[in-house]
Structure 1
């Protein structure tokens, strides 16, 4: 527990004691107090949203292997995150982006770094996701990302980077494990008067589970903040990262059962790979405190993310550059004697004119022949949103909001022919209405009704075309969602439970027509997304001086299906398991030693829209052993994955109608693996 002394007296006492001992440790006290305050503030902020959310504390995640975003989002109800064998993961929240293959772009979830946009008209590239740069992640499921300007079906995720306030002056970390896995990290962060900084260098390499699936990455993250006075502060951010991944391709169900480490023969023969030559994300966020109850936040981001896609019978060199701006006004008032909180925000993201691609014929590896096509991607997303929380009676809050969205999508083929251009401009809207009631400090119930809007990617207009020269037009995906839920603390532990029902129109669904070529995306007929999300963190037994036994559980039920489709009737949408469960049973000793066992279970997954074939259900077991020193400087751990060496499909990239045939649609999950790590923080 934190001391109850006033902070100024506590700091004076610590400084005096440290001086008497011949050393000064005041900076350490400042850093630790700031970190606790930020986590508590995030918890309180999420508790004020009338809907489901998750708060991921990276201090807990880092007590084991942290290889990708899959490890960050583990044990989170309502979130499906599975690795595709490299940095790219298949991420889906409430069926968002359910059938877009893990790869260069994600969709259906609005993603931010430090409250600033990463997601743009072209989706969410994955190469800047280095988990060891993070202090926490905030997941706002569904419409609960409204105040961040998110209108996506899956909501929003804000990945928050360390700053000088919550980082050690020096930290080094090293992870090593099965199949050539290595992950190295060094960072530094400090507070120097009104200025603070954080800088981190990270690199990784791995041989991969499948043949021809090795990869590597290296990157830097940095930020520097300055407080000019109590009413004005600013922070600059930088992320740069390079990744290179060989591509093993997908396997059949029979291959996963008998030879899961094989590579897809076509991918192997062509030597497919996906180098990301270097992505840069630079941003600034400046906050003006107008008074104790009002502030303005202004943000600006430049994002450059080129790609060199050597997949299938082509090589695609892509140049993407986005620029984003945000402006938010937040105010607390008293309205007719009732407390009121208002947020008015604006955000826009626009592709710069150099965004485009050149396509070449290709035989294998780096060899490529004649240029076959040039085309450009243009697009912008602009959202103006206003929301209010009004306390109607004590502990009963009404949430209202309205967002207006303007989207522009253009795809233009400039070679070998000109004039193959599609330009779409759309206005849309997204209202939001919610209620939350704190029955007592240990129990809250809530509900909300909302609308979401998601435009297609500009590249979908090209790749979904049957012609190489004429893109097609597509409609925005929209959904109306009802959500009901509750959360609280009880004798069972801290729990949360949410149910949602979404009627989706023009859902953007992708289907792989020809293996090795990008999936084609189309607007589907009417669909339904409904589900239950449940989380429970329990202390099963605890005795002072002896230790604590705890259990954390996360369960997600996902029912996504057509509504009377002309061809597929009420078929389930392929790609995501209906039942997904994760749990960890852990014992902590007072010395800092901990040990636990964990499990992950998933039901079968349909692999085509005709529901003619499926990937099998699976259950995995794991174990973890580690030690955190009482001074919080040394940390070490041993992480055992898939103890029973289960062979299973981690992700599925659906086909249209496989007619009951076993087609290569699945990426195999990793087999038994051993990972170890050590970290030292100089404070």
Structure 2
């Protein structure tokens, strides 16, 4: 798939430096946003702004040119940072992080998480079917052939992952968010980030920075149609934002149709300039058929065909979710305290090899305090927090008879618990250099009760006590250039799906119950730089993670991957993004000239076993060594832009640990044209995979494959999409 990241490019996503303390006089690297906002007309500029940023304490005011006197300013939201505040906040982190604003993905089809994160280096995200996607950050969760593991997903800071660690993309609505935050690895400390991949947080606007009306219609290839509308506003101390969307898609492949509705809302109230509370509601209903993985030959020769068994037994993944939460922010002089609670009710109806009927009841809370003051003549920022996420999973499985429930096969009650405490201190040696040290402690429980099972399930309980220290440095070389380095440890408790169950085993394979699976730990070394200049921007990170007990596929039969622990593995690579103005003033030579902009995101990944007893130093399967996304855009100050883009995987990658079967290299190209008047109206037309290339978009993995192994997900063929958007 292709999407357009305008203006400053992917490299600029991360360019920013710690915010200026009101007790100091120091230069600040201006927050860099992917798409610099166009100048608005006077009546829009007059929209009230905050007198004081809730995150920075820096005074701000905005006077309407048409008004003879200053107008009273509405308070900014304390509980929801805007895009600029979020970018500044993340710049304090001595590691690879990103803020992707909605301007980077809303003038596009934006069907899935791929359309949102495609230009963030280090994030490998490829579609499988419907909204389901294979996502890996620095090689996280490559062994997970279904769902997501290894990266924690949040919606406004509220967990999307289940309490035992599974993630799901069906609840993600790209049209609902103001921006997306990406925290790689242990850089996700404030979310209790205890996994190799880190965390991704999808953030809705509040009523204080949302349009009164925003509506759009998108449509295109393979029967795709979506409508969306939102509304937001503020009145005195209260504000609201509500959004809803409905979509349907026939799908490129046979047996891949789906439809769904998603809705989100938040309501905030400021009791005083220093105390605000906000209530959140999110609801989803999604119905999606699954075409299934096929052989390599089938994927490249008959890519639209589904696997026969998926059709005969009507494989599906259907989900209904309701998520409620409350978050409050209290500001006390130099200390800001965030606290809240949440609850999630999720019903999964999932006919696959068996008919899965799972009900999840997750709940939890969090508290976080950040104190920023001058200590001994130096700025010092201390952050301390506690996260709790617990739940109960009623896991019932039945025979799948033509897509209908048959006889019950198992009835389990699973109770995961997660308690995370963390502490971080950033001390500024000089105004432009901060030393950061922190630690995180995770106590996790996995408890399973077996009421009935014909599947070989066993009861048991395991617990994990995991420390994750971290240290780093951030140097503001100048106001628009930053260098960082860190050493960190991540730790990931396994989910209930990690085990080798008896009924799936080859006679020579051991029986490994879930409670004997060890936690995955990693020590990661990282160095990088980010910044911008008027005509170019960059983001570069180099990392190496030495991993113990990586959750990997070691035993398999009937196409299933049964996950247990490897001994030692290594994940290392290069994440590079840059943008550059190649030409300017071609037809318009003014203070806002036209330009040709090049935007590139490149990821190099070297993931290997480290002297493994079975696989030696083989490459880990599931991710390409090289992945490139690039676009070349002509941008006119009137709001018109157009140009080509490519996705390139120049080298095949293995799908099995034995390194016997690989994918196929490919290059895709597309074209896109957009118009945005900067006020009310925008539209786009986009063509993807215009050469109609048959290619493998994503794979499952296995320990040892052969040409008959069904592991491959074909990518979509030639497609054209168009959409219009109007807001007030």
Q: TM-score range by the shorter chain?
A: over 0.9
**1:335 Cα shift?**
2.1
**1:224 Cα shift?**
0.4
Gaps of 5+ in 1: 19-25
Matches of 2:485 and 2:137 in 1, distance apart?
18
Change (3 A) 1:218 1:511: farther
| 2:690 alignment counterpart | 643
- Which range moves more in the overlay, 31-40 or 534-543? 31-40
TM-score, normalised relative to structure 2: 0.87
| 2:415 alignment counterpart | 378
| 1:23 alignment counterpart | none
1:540 aligns with 2:582: yes
1:337-371 Cα offsets, whole Å, 9 max, x none, are: 2110010000010013xx221111222122x3211
1:156 aligns with 2:202: no
Change (3 A) 1:512 1:240: farther
Equivalent residue for 2:700, pick from 647, 653, 661: 653
**1:489 Cα shift?**
2.3
| 1:342 alignment counterpart | 382
Matches of 1:521 and 1:624 in 2, distance apart?
41
Q: Secondary structure of 1:179's partner?
A: helix
Structure with more relative contact order (C-alpha pairs < 8 Å, separation 6 or more) = 2
| 1:246 alignment counterpart | 289
Matches of 2:529 and 2:593 in 1, distance apart?
33
* CA RMSD after TM alignment: 2.7
Change (3 A) 1:86 1:514: farther
Change (3 A) 1:397 1:148: same
Equivalent residue for 1:435, pick from 450, 464, 473: 473
- Alignment check: 8 A CA contact 2:79 2:278 kept: no
| 1:228 alignment counterpart | 271
- Alignment check: 8 A CA contact 1:35 1:165 kept: no
Equivalent residue for 1:451, pick from 482, 489, 492: 489
| 2:442 alignment counterpart | 405
**1:125 Cα shift?**
2.5
Matches of 2:653 and 2:128 in 1, distance apart?
16
Q: Secondary structure of 2:222's partner?
A: coil
**1:416 Cα shift?**
4.2
- Alignment check: 8 A CA contact 1:595 1:626 kept: yes
Q: Secondary structure of 1:260's partner?
A: coil
**1:655 Cα shift?**
1.6
| 2:105 alignment counterpart | 61
1:212 aligns with 2:258: no
Q: Secondary structure of 1:81's partner?
A: strand
- Alignment check: 8 A CA contact 1:302 1:321 kept: yes
1:94 aligns with 2:138: yes
Q: Secondary structure of 2:109's partner?
A: coil
Superposed counterparts of 1:116-515, under 5 Å: 116-119=158-161, 120-276=163-319, 278-291=320-333, 293-312=334-353, 314-352=354-392, 355-366=393-404, 368-416=405-453, 420-461=458-499, 472-490=515-533, 493-510=536-553, 513-515=556-558
Matches of 1:511 and 1:260 in 2, distance apart?
28
Matches of 1:512 and 1:633 in 2, distance apart?
56
Gaps of 5+ in 2: 1-38, 52-60, 506-510
1:604 aligns with 2:604: no
1:370-393 Cα offsets, whole Å, 9 max, x none, are: 112111211111110000100112
1:40-90 Cα offsets, whole Å, 9 max, x none, are: 222222222111111111122111111111111111111111111211111
TM-score, normalised relative to structure 1: 0.92
**1:470 Cα shift?**
6.4
Change (3 A) 1:41 1:536: same
Q: Secondary structure of 1:513's partner?
A: strand
Equivalent residue for 2:570, pick from 524, 528, 549: 528
Q: Which structure has more strand as a fraction of its residues? A: 1
- Alignment check: 8 A CA contact 1:295 1:329 kept: yes
- Alignment check: 8 A CA contact 2:489 2:522 kept: yes
- Which range moves more in the overlay, 430-439 or 108-117? 108-117
